[in-house]
Each structure stands twice: as structure tokens, then as C-alpha cells.
Amino acid sequence: MPKIAIHVEFRPHPGSHAAFDALIREHARLTQAEEPGCERFEVLQPLNADGSKDESRIMLVEVYADRAAVKAHTQNPRMPKVREAYTPLIAERILTMCEM
């Protein structure tokens, strides 16, 4: 079975970057601790051309062992609370799922 990679780009509302960043990094940490099928969960901070943080975006790269691991992730009891917490902080969420 192929591994599944998920790339998510979030666009936090102006002034919400720090709160969203803290929330999503804790979510990444807990996901890796709780879900054996999650092989990687990286939070990426894009940079501007001058090397400063692009606070208009935060990206995630997640790797799961298989589709069953992705399903387990989506059914994690924490997920509704995480989504509820971050929804008011973001303007946009773009998710792409890929086979590896």
C-alpha cells in the first residue's frame, strides 16, 4: 500500500499568526504522539525574499503509513476541537492529498 502525504496551506487572518502557529504546532506534536500511523507531521514557516517570516502563510506536510492511518487521523477525537479552535484564526485552508 502506498504511503499518503498531505500538504496543507493555511492563510491566517492578520494578527492571528502567533496564535495559529502555537495551536497547529501543538496539534502536530500530539498527532505524532497519539497516532502510530503518522510518520511525519512538519509545520513549515514560509519566508519572504528578505528572509523574514511570511506571516500570511503556514504550511503542513504530513506523511501517513496508508489510507487507514489517514482515516484514523480524521477520526481522532481531538480533531473537532482543533478545527473549532483554528477556524476563526484563518482566512483560507488548502489541502492536497497525495500518494507517495
- The residues, any chain, with a CB within 8 Å of residue 46's CB and separated by 6 or more, are 53, 54, 57, 58, 59
CA distance 57 to 8: 10
Over its length of 100 residues, how does the chain's per-residue pLDDT go in tens digits? Answer: 899 999 999 999 999 999 999 999 999 999 999 999 999 999 999 999 999 999 999 999 999 999 999 999 999 999 999 999 999 999 999 999 999 9
**What cell numbers appear for 69 in the block?**
492511518
Cβ atoms of residues 24 and 58 within 8 Å? yes
Rounded to two decimals, what is the model's pTM? 0.93
Pure H helices in the chain: 17-34, 67-74, 79-86
